[in-house]
Structure 1
Amino acid sequence: MNTVNGLPTHPLLVHAVVVLVPLASLMAVLAVLWPGARRRLGFLVPLVALAALIAVPLATSAGEALETRVAHTEAVEHHTRLGEQMIYWAGPLFAFTVLWWAAHDERVSTFVVNRLPVLGRAGRAGDWLLGAATLGVAIGSVVTVYRIGDSGSRAVWM
């Protein structure tokens, strides 16, 4: 399905990515830096990150279909190259939010530590490392969405 009511689906699906990736990233940052937010947001953080992860290949696939219908300019090629990178940020964003949630949900962490005691010894250093990785991927995801969107708008309007 490349069109909806005669419109290409790519610009429509891109809106899901543009909303969900920054939202998941913001939620991840809050969960890492603010324990109160972590408790309130709980599993919603990885859930939103999963929705973003699903939206990315849908938008990319629709973009590839649209690419066959537009002129091949350097700007379009640049946008395409950047767009193909988004999955490499959305996947780790989902994975790190799941790991962060699991490490801080009492039920999950107790279950895991009872079966794999070595994970319980990761302690504070492991928490810092996981938090830093989550923050890095969240920030990188938002920067990547911005760069892709900027290149796409330049490809259309310039």
Structure 2
Amino acid sequence: MLDTIFGLPVHPLIVHATTVVVPAGAVAVLLAALWPRFRRWAGWMPLALALAAVVLTPLSTESGEALERHVEHSDLIETHSQLAEGLLPWVVVLAVAAALLYVVARGERRSSGVSAADGVGTTAVTETAAASEVAETSVRVAAVPRWLLVGAAVVGLVASLGTATQVVRIGHSGAQAAWGDAVSQTTPPSGGGDGN
């Protein structure tokens, strides 16, 4: 199915999208796991990126397998293929983490809205920032269970780091398979930049 488009292999096209979306999703989930302000601001963005990664990963793998049938077999291509097959579990866990963090962010936004609404209409403008922070924290704890916040953050952290590591390994092995022999066999031009 995913073989060629306009006579060219479709794998590089899909892989370029994958190499942008998957790391972007990993970074967004990592930030959402570690930075509450980002988590509340980003809303559904980390989840959308993680779900796009779940869709793009099998498409990249399938198109890579189609390309593999048209090139000469090598150990480098085999290594790249095996590493690529290991990415899907990571992006699935990334999507689960993003979903959990989305639930946490919604609860946090809802609770901060409740705490802000509590102060509307009152004349107690002199309330200190510390008292406001304590009130917001107590409402947030009630709206988002601590175990959910900690669990989502831990899963998000592990999934982000694992996904990013796997993408780097896959990309490196793919670059070696595609360009390793071509670059190592080329000789640099002589007499150029050595000052002679």
Q: How high is the TM-score relative to the length of structure 2?
A: 0.70
**2:96 aligned partner, one-letter code:** A
Q: How far apart are the structure 1 equivalents of 2:108 and 2:97?
A: 18
**1:105 aligned partner, one-letter code:** R
Structure with more of its chain in helix, by fraction: 1
| Residue number in structure 2 paired with 1:115 | none
| Residue number in structure 2 paired with 1:5 | 6
Q: How far apart are the structure 2 equivalents of 1:123 and 1:99?
A: 12
Q: How far apart are the structure 2 equivalents of 1:77 and 1:108?
A: 47
| Cα deviations by residue, 1:44-93 (Å, 9 ceiling, x for unpaired) | 11011111110111111000100101111110100000010110111111
**2:173 aligned partner, one-letter code:** S
| Residue number in structure 2 paired with 1:127 | 149
Q: How far apart are the structure 2 equivalents of 1:108 and 1:36?
A: 10
Q: Report the aligned-residue RMSD.
A: 2.2
Following TM superposition, the consecutive aligned residue runs of length 4 or more in structure 1 with deviations greater than 4 angstroms are 107-110
Q: Which runs of 5+ in 1 are unaligned?
A: 111-119
Q: How far apart are the structure 2 equivalents of 1:19 and 1:141?
A: 13
**2:154 aligned partner, one-letter code:** A
Q: How far apart are the structure 2 equivalents of 1:38 and 1:143?
A: 22
Q: How far apart are the structure 1 equivalents of 2:163 and 2:174?
A: 16
How far 1:109 moved relative to its partner?
A: 8.8
| Residue number in structure 1 paired with 2:171 | 149
Instruction: State how many pairs are aligned.
Output: 149
Q: Which runs of 5+ in 2 are unaligned?
A: 112-141, 181-196
Q: How high is the TM-score relative to the length of structure 1?
A: 0.86
Q: After alignment, is 82-91 or 28-37 more displaced?
A: 28-37
| 1:66–1:27 Cα change, 3 Å | same
Identity of paired residues, percent?
Answer: 36
**1:41 aligned partner, one-letter code:** A
How far 1:123 moved relative to its partner?
A: 3.2
| 1:109–1:36 Cα change, 3 Å | closer
- SS at structure 2 position matched to 1:72: coil
